[in-house]
Amino acid sequence: MTDRKLLEPASKPEWRRRMMEIRDGIDPKERGRLSARICEAVEAELLRPLRERLGRPLRIALFAAFKSEASPLALFERCSEAGDRTYATRMLGGGEGLELREVESVNDWSAGRWGVPEPDPSRTRPMDKKLPPDAVLVPGLAFDASGGRLGYGGGYYDRLYQEVTGRAEYESVGLPLWIGFAFSAQLVEGSLPAESHDLRLDAVATDEGVIRLPKESKGEA
């Protein structure tokens, strides 16, 4: 965990720069080992119990790691083995936002804008919006223990949150779960700078385990 005091006073751009340095400083081999631990924690503490509660395979939205991000690849493989349907984010033309497309193998990804891996539209189909995901894995630069997240500045996941969240039948059972997926070095003591429209998470998963967040602690997204 990173001491927030080491980063104050700081604007959001300064936070992003300094947290990127921290994440980039993790050795690549260590990133692989830690990523596997995060995947194990998400499966054991969040997804497996959710499958048991719902009594069916899940619909999981995830991402392919870019640069020094923690990688959910092992979790993608586990979900496929469990019979879950897996989706990944793809940037819409003109940078208007994100869409979710179903992915079935690692061959379904290709390099998108800025080289970020995303579903190849020639090999994948859009998610049926009548069947939204049960859980969404969210990347980022920094997270805090109250559900705050520092993204990359584009607001893409904030807008996706607004699009996916709000279905009455899902809200009644507390779905979808929005799960921060990151290294423990990206977890910050105290609270990150936040705005009213920022995505608030249900849980943060790191190599040290899962922090579950009570609904009342999330505030307004």
- The model's pTM is 0.89
**CATH number of the domain within which 21 lies:** 3.40.50.10420
Q: What is the pLDDT of residues 176-217, one digit of tens each?
A: 999 999 999 999 988 888 777 778 899 999 999 999 987 654
**159: phi then psi, degrees, rounded to nearest 5:** -70, -35
Range of the domain at 173: 4-217
**Mind listing the pLDDT tens digit for each residue in 186-197?**
999 888 887 777
- The number of domains in the chain is 1
Helices (H), the chain: 12-24, 28-42, 48-54, 73-81, 156-164, 168-171
